[in-house]
Amino acid sequence: MQKNPAECTTMADVRVEIDRLDRALMTLLAERWGYIDRAAEIKRPLKLKADIPARVAEVRENARRHASELGLDPDFYEGIWAQLIDHAIAHERSLLGEANQ
């Protein structure tokens, strides 16, 4: 049975909920990765590069804004998103044959 933080009375309760959320986050990241693959498929015939700086800036700003709106540290979460973006761009470059660029 899922509990909110206030309903957790033991560290075991807290750990169960953190593990549940970690799994949910991984599921969402896996879903996001599917869109990264699809982006590369769409970019190929359009001859678009993996790295589109305006979009990178937009995604990073979205991460900052969402973090701030949720009371989270925008610098920290933008940093996490920067790593996600860098990893996605490297993957797209590989799929698009840009790996050596």
23 annotated ligand-binding residue:
no
Report whether 64 belongs to an annotated binding site: no
Q: Provide the residue range defining the domain that includes 25.
A: 5-96
- Residue 101 inside a domain? The answer is no
Answering whether pTM is above 0.85, one says: yes
pLDDT value of residue 5: 96
Q: What is the CATH number of the domain that holds 31?
A: 1.20.59.10
**23 three-class SS:** helix
Q: Is 47 annotated as a binding residue?
A: no
pLDDT digits (tens, 9 = 90+) for 46-96: 999 999 999 999 999 999 999 999 999 999 999 999 999 999 999 999 999
Residue 99: its pLDDT value, please?
Answer: 66
* Residue 90 contacts residue 42 (beta carbons within 8 Å): no
Residue 48 lies in a domain: yes
Contact (CB, 8 A) for 50 and 96: yes
Residue 92 annotated as part of some ligand binding site: yes
pLDDT of residue 100: 57
pLDDT tens readout for residues 3-47: 999 999 999 999 999 999 999 999 999 999 999 999 999 999 999
- Number of domains observed in the structure of the chain: 1
